[in-house]
Amino acid sequence: MSKVRHVLGISGGKDSAALAIYMKQNYPHLDIEYYTSDTGKELDETYQLIDNLEIFLGKKILRLTGADNSPELPFDHFIKMYNGYLPSSNARWCTKKLKLDPFEKFVGNDPVISYVGIRGDEDREGYISKKSNIQSIFPFRRNIWSEDVINKFLANANITIAQNCFNTLSLNGKTERINEIVNTKISTTFNQQQKLNQLLDLGVRVFNKAVFEFIKTTKYPLSKEDSFALVDNEDVLVRDDIFRILEDSGVGVPAYYKEVEFEINGKKSTYARSRSGCFFCFYQQKIEWVWLYEQHKDLFLKAMEYERDGYTWIEDEPLSELIKPERIERIKEEYIKRSQSKKNKIQSPYLLDILSEAEEEGCASCFI
C-alpha cells in the first residue's frame, strides 16, 4: 500500500503562503511536500515570496512546470501550441495546462492529502482536482472537509453509518441532541448546510472524529491513515489572521498588495494588485491593468505583445486603447467612485476588499 503523501500548493498569494507557515508552526510532524506551479509569468514579488517561504520552512518548494522539456517558459510554450489564442475566463486552458496537469502528474496515483488555504471568511470550495486519489483539507475553515466528503457523510442514505460513527465517540452529554440531528433527514425544510452547522455547533472535534471514522469506511486517501492530527483543529482563520501570520513569521506580505497612492483631477486614492498569478492574468480589473502599466511598465508592454491577430486580454478592449490618457483617467475616476461607495457599505480597512470583488473567481491553484 502506498504511503499517504501530504502536499501543499503555494500559489504566490497570501492565503497559501500563510497556510504553509501555519502548518509548519502547528503540525511540524507532518512531512508536507510544498510545490508551486510556475507559469514563468509571475511577478518578481511572487518569486520573492516563494524564496522567503523556503527560508522560513527550511525546505525546498518544488517548482512544477507544464512544459518540462521545452526551451521556452511554460506559458510561452503553450501559447504557441494554441496559435496565439489567449486564455480567458471561458477558455482557461492556462490553468489546466500550467497548474492542474503538472499537479496531477506530480501526485501520480499516490494517495494524497492536499491542504488548501481557503479562509474561514470565504464562501467557496476552491476546485483543485477531481482525481479520487487526491483529498483536499481546509485547515482555516471550521469545516475542514471537502464538499464531496460532507455530501456523503450527511447523505440520507448514510444516516445509519453516520450514527455508528458518532456512537464510537464519547459525546459528553450531547448524545441525544447529536442523534436527533444525525437522524433528521435532509429535506426542503432542513438542508445539508443547516445539518452541518448544527453538528459543528455541538463540537467541531467530535464532528471531525466522526467524519474520520466515516472516512475509514471509504476509499479516500485518509482512510489509509491510523490517525489525523487535524481532527482536533478548531481554528477558524480570517483575513486579519492571514496578514498577521505573514508579518509575524518574517516572511512578509507579498509586495504587490502594498497600496500605492495616485492622484487624478485633484482626487487622491490608492491602488494595488489584488491577487497572485500571471502578470497578464485576464482576471485582473482595469484599475489593476493601470497599476501594472504605471508600476511595472515593462511587464505591461510584454502583455501587449501577446495581443495579436485580434486576440485581446480584455474582451473588446486592446491594451493599446486602455493606456490612452483619457481612458486611464476615466478608469481611475470610476475606480475612486466605486471604492468610495463600497467603502461606505462594507467599512473594510482593506483595499483588497474593494479591489477583489472577484476574489472568489478563478482557480485555487492560481490565487489562494
41 or 209: whose CB is closer to ligand SF4?
Answer: 41
66 or 111: whose CB is closer to ligand SF4?
Answer: 66
Q: Where are the alpha helices (DSSP H) in the chain?
A: 14-26, 44-57, 74-81, 93-95, 101-107, 147-153, 159-167, 175-183, 192-201, 204-215, 239-249, 286-295, 297-305, 319-322, 325-346, 351-355, 364-367
Residue of this chain nearest to ligand SF4 (CB atom): 277
**CA-to-CA dists, residue 267 to 8, 228, 345, angstroms:** 43, 54, 20
Closest distance of CB 146 from ligand SF4, Å: 21
Closest distance of CB 356 from ligand SF4, Å: 14
Closest distance of CB 257 from ligand SF4, Å: 16
Structure-derived torsion over alpha carbons of residues 162, 167, 168, 172, reported in degrees to the nearest 10: 120
38 or 213: whose CB is closer to ligand SF4?
Answer: 38
**Residue 133 and residue 7 in contact, taking contact as beta carbons nearer than 8 Å:** no
Closest distance of CB 96 from ligand SF4, Å: 9
Would the CA dihedral through 46, 52, 56, 59 be positive or negative? positive
- CA distance linking residue 214 with residue 197, whole number of Å: 18
C-alpha cell at 330: 476615466
207 or 293: whose CB is closer to ligand SF4?
Answer: 293
Q: What does the binding site for ligand SF4 look like in residue numbers (CB under 6 A)?
A: 39, 87, 92, 94-95, 98-99, 277-278, 281, 283, 362, 366
Closest distance of CB 278 from ligand SF4, Å: 3
Closest distance of CB 308 from ligand SF4, Å: 17
- Stated as kind and residue range, the H or E segment containing 260 is strand 260-264
At 111 the three-state DSSP class reads coil
Closest distance of CB 273 from ligand SF4, Å: 12
User: Got the DSSP string for 175-215?
Assistant: HHHHHHHHHSPP-SSS-HHHHHHHHHHT-HHHHHHHHHHHH
236 or 255: whose CB is closer to ligand SF4?
Answer: 255
40 or 203: whose CB is closer to ligand SF4?
Answer: 40
145 or 313: whose CB is closer to ligand SF4?
Answer: 313
